[in-house]
Amino acid sequence: MISIDEAIEQIKNHIPRPTTRVIPINDALGCYLAGDITAPEPSPRYTSSAMDGFGIVYDTTMLTEQPICLKIIGESAAGKSFAGLVQPGEAVRINTGAVIPAGVDTVIRVEDTSEENGNVLINVIPKQGQDIRHAGEEFDQGSLLLAKNTKLSATHLALLSAVGIGEVAVYDPCKVSVLVTGSELVSCGDEIAPDQIRDSNMIMIAAAIREAGGEVVETIRVEDDAAATEKVIDEAKGDLIICTGGISVGPHDHVKGAATAVGFKEIFWQIKQKPGKPLFFAERGKQLLFGLPGNPVSAFMCFIHYVKPLIGAINGFPFGWPILSARVESAIENRGKRPTMIRVQLKWKEGTGYSIISAEKQGSHMLTSVTGSNGYIILAPGEHVRAETRCEVHCYDSKREIFPLPFSG
Ligand code: AMP
Ligand code: MG
| Residue pLDDT, tens place only, 130-140 | 999 999 999 99
Low-confidence ranges of the chain (pLDDT < 70): 399-407
A 10 A CB-CB count for 180 gives: 26
In the reported structure, the alpha carbon of residue 240 is separated from the centroid of ligand 1 by a whole-number distance in angstroms of: 21
- Whole-number Å distance, alpha carbon 180 to ligand 2 midpoint, is 9
What CATH fold (topology level) applies to the domain 321-408? Beta-clip (2.40.340)
220 CA distance to ligand 1 middle (Å) = 15
Which three-class secondary structure state does DSSP give residue 198? strand
Q: List residues near ligand 1 (CB under 6 A).
A: 180, 182, 184-185, 197, 199-202, 244-246, 248, 250, 293-296
Q: Which atom of ligand 1 is nearest to the CA of 180?
A: 19
Q: How many CB atoms lie under 10 A from the CB of residue 208?
A: 23
Q: Where in the sequence of the chain do the CATH 2.170.190.11 domains occur?
A: 48-133
Per-residue pLDDT reduced to its tens digit, 55-68: 999 999 999 988 99
Pocket probe mutation, ligand 1, options 295, 297, 301, 368, max atoms within 8 Å of Cβ: 295
User: Domain 20-43+137-171, what fold?
Assistant: Molybdopterin biosynthesis moea protein, domain 2 (3.90.105)
Among 152, 207, 212, 156, which residue's Cα sits nearest to residue 30?
A: 152
Measured from the Cα of 221, ligand 1's closest atom is 19
Q: What is the DSSP string of 223-265?
A: -S-HHHHHHHHHH--SSEEEEES--SSSTT--HHHHHHHTTPE
| Distance in Å, CA 79 to ligand 2 centroid | 66
Number of Cβ atoms within 10 Å of the Cβ of 370: 19
* Ligand 1 atom with least separation from CA of 298: 8
Fold of 48-133: Molybdopterin biosynthesis moeA protein; domain 3 (2.170.190)
pLDDT confidence of residue 205:
98
Mapped to the 3 state alphabet, what secondary structure does 280-328 carry?
Answer: EEEEECCEEEEEECCCHHHHHHHHHHHHHHHHHHHCCCCCCCCEEEEEE
Q: Among 187, 204, 244, 279, which is best to mutate for testing ligand 1, by the most ligand atoms less than 8 A from CB?
A: 244
Residues 214, 215, 216, 217: is their CA dihedral positive or negative?
negative
Q: Which ligand minimizes its atom distance to the CA of 244?
A: 1
| The pLDDT of residue 401 | 54
280 CA to middle of ligand 1, Å? 15
Please give the number of the atom of ligand 1 that sits closest to the Cα of 293.
2
Select from 396, 368, 226 the least CA-distant residue to 308.
396
Distance of CA 309 from the midpoint of ligand 2 (Å): 26
Q: Which ligand is located closest to the Cα atom of residue 252?
A: 2
Return the pLDDT at 349. 83
In ligand 1, which atom is closest to the CA atom of 197? Answer: 12
Q: How far is the CA of 36 from the centre of ligand 1 (A)?
A: 43
Contact 86, 103 (CB under 8 A): yes
Which ligand neighbours the alpha carbon of 247 most closely? 1
Minimal-distance CA residue to ligand 1 atom 5:
294
Residue to mutate, 186, 196, 201, 225, ligand 1, most ligand atoms under 8 Å from C-beta: 201
Q: What is the C-alpha separation between 312 and 241, in angstroms, rounded?
A: 16
Q: Which atom of ligand 1 lies closest to the CA of 200?
A: 20
Q: What is the pLDDT of residue 402?
A: 59
> Which amino acid, 401?
E
Q: How far is the CA of 299 from the centre of ligand 1 (A)?
A: 9
User: For 4-19+173-314, which CATH superfamily applies?
Assistant: MoaB/Mog-like domain (3.40.980.10)
How much is the pLDDT for 66?
85
Task: Quote the ligand 2 centre to 271 CA distance (angstroms).
Answer: 19
Half-sphere exposure of 2 (CA within 13 A, CB side): 14
Query: Ligand 1, atom 16: nearest CA belongs to which residue?
Result: 294
